[in-house]
Structure 1
């Protein structure tokens, strides 16, 4: 790793959109339960947020990884790093498996009616691991928003929009599962983690190969969280079309800016 030249003359114009984007995600964590539109019986925001998040994975992250895999001449620091760098989609599968295991354990615990009343301190170890992993998930996202300025052509704010919407829906659901854990710990930990990740991304720059490994792991996690937490809340045609609209609009946004294939 080396110190990032993030705030150079050519990157200064992108510094503020990046900071605004990560602040939007932090605010979504802190105030999502207060958004009244999330509490409507026929909630369309959660399906729409899933559509946006999945569109980002399939229309941007995976095409970027495909291009990087074709262009990079990876030099392995060690055999494991070399394996992951040369098999980048394996990392996405690993991310998928890790997050799926954590989420399924949490869902089984949630069947206990008393689970809603637990605090973070009282929670079982695997619940703590889940929420700490979500904080790590946020740290990674904050880091990637900062890193995109030097590694990728697209505006960092594009990624931030997708993640702010994604987390608004996700946090609404998380609070419904464990209100005290969310109110007392998760929203603050997630907001702090995404900001800390952004600061780390400004200060430290990692190699393209390492960044792609992180991106791929994140893609697997986004797919699990959207599929297991958000998509099951589609019960009506209106909610289904909200998912379609979210995915379509964000896909069109990515295509219109012209980053796919560059």
Structure 2
């Protein structure tokens, strides 16, 4: 059972995250600071959280998998990052289904099919619903705070990417779809009971998605990036993590 205070904290956390997509364009520093700096800084925070925050919990969770899961026990205990790999590959496959944004030389690239556009938005909505669900299952206020702040930074990167790929559809409907998805995921998490091992697997899946988003942004030939900003973010997160 969850205490009322913990449920309230997780609700505030989810509402905060849900507003990131709605208010992203209103952030003045995004307009004043070149995107290559704030995007790389956000990517540095996100990837640091995966390696220093999520992966240790994934290893711990897979070590406690009950024997009742049968053959999956041995597989996951010997391959604790298998769900992370599945998450990364799944998101990579979805990304490859989406055509690149239009350019001056080839404006037809923006005319991707409705099915592809909404499939992409739906996949990210599911991704956000899982994150909302995970927040509902957390029972440590400090863990919730760290997770939410890391996800908020990550969401800014996702918001930028979605605006670039599906600007019209994302502004009209997509942004609100992602906003509602995380709230819906939280509501399902509060009202349902699930085995801890499933939560661990979902964490690994989300970690895979984060890694893919970061790698695509930082190694993209179309978007400028800043290694110094990325490095500063990684070192800052490391310092905070070590001091805890």
TM over 0.5: yes
**Structure 1 residues 159, 247: CA separation in 2 closer, same or farther (over 3 Å shift)?**
same
Q: Please name the residue that 1:241 is paired with.
A: 228
Name stretches of at least 5 consecutive residues in structure 2 with no aligned partner.
none
State how far apart, in whole Å, the 2-side matches of 1:160 and 1:33 are. 19
Structure 1 residues 50 and 199, CA gap change in structure 2 (3 angstroms): same
Determine the structure 2 residue equivalent to 1:260: none
Q: Please say if 1:137 is aligned against 2:127.
A: yes
Matched, 1:35 2:27: yes
Once superposed, what is the RMSD of the aligned Cα atoms? 2.5
SS at match of 2:60: helix
Contact 1:38 1:169 (8 Å CA) reproduced: no
Question: In 2, are the aligned partners of 1:88 and 1:213 still within 8 Å (CA)?
Answer: no
For these two proteins, the number of residue pairs brought into alignment is 239
**1:110 Cα deviation (Å)?**
5.4
> Is residue 2:154 matched to residue 1:166?
yes
Residues 91/205 of structure 1: CA separation in 2 closer, same or farther (3 Å cut)? same
Partner of 2:174: 186
1:205 aligns with 2:205: no
Measured against aligned partners, the alpha-carbon deviations of 1:21-49 in whole angstroms (never above 9, x if no partner) come to: 21121111112122232234622221111
Normalised by the length of structure 2, the TM-score is: 0.86
Q: What is the rounded CA distance, in whole Å, between the counterparts of 2:191 and 2:219 in structure 1?
A: 37
- Corresponding residue number in structure 2 for 1:147: 137
Q: TM-score, with normalisation over the residues of structure 1? A: 0.80
> Are 2:20 and 1:15 aligned?
no
Q: Are residue 70 (structure 1) and residue 63 (structure 2) matched?
A: yes
Measured in 1, the distance between the counterparts of 2:30 and 2:218 equals 13
1:54 Cα shift? 0.7
Structure 1 contact 50–231 (Cα < 8 Å) conserved:
no
Separation (CA, whole Å) in 2 of partners of 1:113 and 1:234: 18
Residue in 1 that maps onto 2:107 = 113
Give the aligned partner of residue 212 of structure 2: 224
Conserved 8 A contact 2:101-2:164? no
Distance 1:194 1:183 in 2: 17
* 3-state SS, counterpart of residue 206 of structure 1: coil
Measured after TM superposition, the shift of residue 95 of structure 1 is: 0.9
What is the aligned counterpart of 1:97 among 89, 93, 104?
Answer: 89
SS at structure 2 position matched to 1:58: helix
